[in-house]
A and B are shown apart, each in its own frame.
Chain A
Amino acid sequence: MSLIKVTIDNIEVEVEPGTTILQAARKIGGAVVPPTMCYYSKLKGSGGKCRSCLVKVAQGSAKDPRPMPKLVASCRTAVMDGMVVQNITSPEVMENRRAITEFLLLNHPLDCPVCDQAGECHLQDLSYEHGLAETNTIEDRRTFKPIDIGDKIKLHMNRCILCYRCVMVADQLTDQRVHGVLGRGDHSEISTYIEKAIDNDFSGNMIDVCPVGALTDRTFRFKSRVWFTKPFDAHRDCPKCSGKVVLWKKGDEILRVTGRKDKYGELEEFICNDCRFEHKDNNDWVIEGPRKIERHSVISQNHYEKK
């Protein structure tokens, strides 16, 4: 099939038909890539919920050059030949993104000092980028008590932005989903059947796909801030998964094991709970070397291996 041409922020790129605008933008890379809070390229059916990736389509296609009437979700819109997309070059999109960030923060507590996700949180990056230091609402945020889902995962429903990623992980990676979204609209919440434990071999990946700190590792809970730990690429022979992980070490101690995330914060490979929670000994792992961390990240603080 022939490639089709798309222009995103005045940069032309050739992609296969059926590609989404987001994927085309990622092919270009750099600043034109819209932020994503709910879309996850490895999870089927993800995206379209958070609206943070909305872009403007200035020209629908070469055949029909009319612009699209409203901003479209780039993660769910397929490209057409001759489509002209504006992302950071459109003030309308930027203003909209700022407003969307404010909406995402409506119920999200600013408890970054307490949250274990701080430093690698996508919502933190997003709100930092759009400079939202204050909120326009005086209403109380909705609050829930943190609950334990099993002995390894902690759920802070306060922080959840309802991206459905964790639900999709459970649906697509594990054979039995015991958690889901209850209620509708403002009342929706992630929950399990009366706090039933999630004890599937791959349930730990919910922690990694969560863009915020709603699902966190209980074995790492409050152990250290992420920027005081040093990430190392490591692997082990695992019968269940690829065994390729990142070890987050403080001194000689392994505090946390996560999957390897690419530059869009998506896991390269899902890892099993055995690797994630049970192997915190240096002898279990073959260390490949320090992990490269993006320069702008707070985790690269005092580290020398920079991208």
Chain B
Amino acid sequence: MQTLTNRSKVVSNKKMTFGEWIYLPAIFKGMSITLKHFFKKKATINYPEEQREFSPVYRGQHVLKRDEQGRERCTACGLCAVACPAEAITMLAAERKPGEEHLYREEKYAAKYEINMLRCIFCGDCEEACPKEAIFLTDRIVEAKYQRKPFVYGKDILVEPVDADKRIDVTKRQTQNVLKFKQNKRFAHNR
């Protein structure tokens, strides 16, 4: 039969030689490979005790930032949700009432903001889409769980605490362009 490619091998059922028949050389060859690995550097680490160094732009669990005065930055504009390729983000907007100015930055805020961590692919598109510098991905790892339900993270997990010492630092993620943008007085809307 004509072969289509020259990669095919003709299988033979030839009789094994004595060396092959006793299998011992093959076993020792395999064991020596195993033994070699004992003296190699380990590929794994003892995770909770030891931790790997993270890249400053590692994309882990999201955080919804507050501004300097502790007001939520997110205004539920929906750009993160529309940018999300996995459609993991859902939100519900609400209007800020008089007297809530210390809680929310703008007249609209996210009453409900949910990220389904099972759907999320940690691409960082939401962070890039955000016009208010509200959502950032951090170097925190999303915890493993036994049920699916707790993976839908609500505002209780995502929004950072108000206390200054418990804030989540994202300065490493803010690129030069962003910082320049913030300092430029010509962007009057940014004040």
Contact = CB atoms under 8 A, between A and B. Distances in A.
Given A113-B79, A118-B77, A222 B94 contact: yes
A1 interface: no
A238 B142 CA distance: 54
28 contacts: A109-B189, A110-B189, A112-B131, A113-B75, A113-B79, A113-B106, A113-B108, A113-B132, A114-B106, A114-B107, A114-B108, A134-B184, A134-B187, A137-B188, A138-B188, A139-B188, A141-B188, A146-B107, A221-B95, A222-B93, A222-B108, A223-B93, A224-B93, A225-B77, A225-B78, A228-B81, A298-B82, A301-B82
Given A113-B77, A222-B93, A135 B188 contact: yes
B75 A114 contact: yes
Interface of B: 75-79, 81-82, 93-95, 106-108, 131-132, 184-189
Given A135-B187, A222-B93, A111 B106 contact: yes
Contacts of B79: 113
Given A223-B93, A298-B82, A114 B77 contact: yes
A140 interface: yes
Interface of A: 109-114, 118, 134-141, 146, 221-225, 227-228, 298, 301
Contacts of B93: 222-224
A227 B108 contact: no
Contacts of A110: 189
A222 B76 contact: yes
A275 to B, nearest CB: 25
A65 B93 CA distance: 58
Nearest to B108: A114
Nearest to A118: B77
A303 to B, nearest CB: 12
Given A134-B184, A135-B188, A138-B188, 15 more contacts: A113-B79, A113-B106, A113-B131, A114-B106, A114-B107, A135-B186, A136-B186, A140-B188, A141-B188, A222-B76, A222-B94, A222-B95, A224-B78, A225-B78, A301-B82
B189 A138 contact: no
A136 B186 CA distance: 6
> Which secondary structure dominates where chain A touches chain B?
loop
A201 B151 CA distance: 48
> Which secondary structure dominates where chain B touches chain A?
loop
Nearest to A228: B78
A113 B78 CA distance: 8
Contacts of B77: 112-114, 118, 225
Contacts of A114: 75, 77, 106-108
A138 B186 contact: yes
A221 B95 CA distance: 8
B142 to A, nearest CB: 25
A221 B108 CA distance: 10
A141 B189 CA distance: 9
B189 to A, nearest CB: 4
A137 B93 CA distance: 32
A136 B185 CA distance: 10
Given A118-B77, A222-B93, A222-B94, A111 B189 contact: yes
Nearest to A105: B189
A298 B79 CA distance: 11
Contacts of B131: 112-113
9 shortest interchain CB distances as A-B pairs: A113-B77, A225-B78, A110-B189, A222-B93, A114-B108, A113-B75, A222-B108, A113-B131, A114-B106
Contacts of A140: 188
Contacts of B188: 135, 137-141
B127 to A, nearest CB: 15
A137 B76 CA distance: 28
A230 to B, nearest CB: 14
Most chain B Cβ neighbours within 10 Å, of A112, A224, A225, A228: A225
Contacts of A222: 76, 93-95, 108
Given A109-B189, A138-B186, A222-B94, A227 B76 contact: no
Nearest to A225: B78
Contacts of B185: 138
A283 to B, nearest CB: 25
A127 to B, nearest CB: 12
B146 to A, nearest CB: 30
A223 B76 CA distance: 10
B163 to A, nearest CB: 27
Contacts of A223: 93
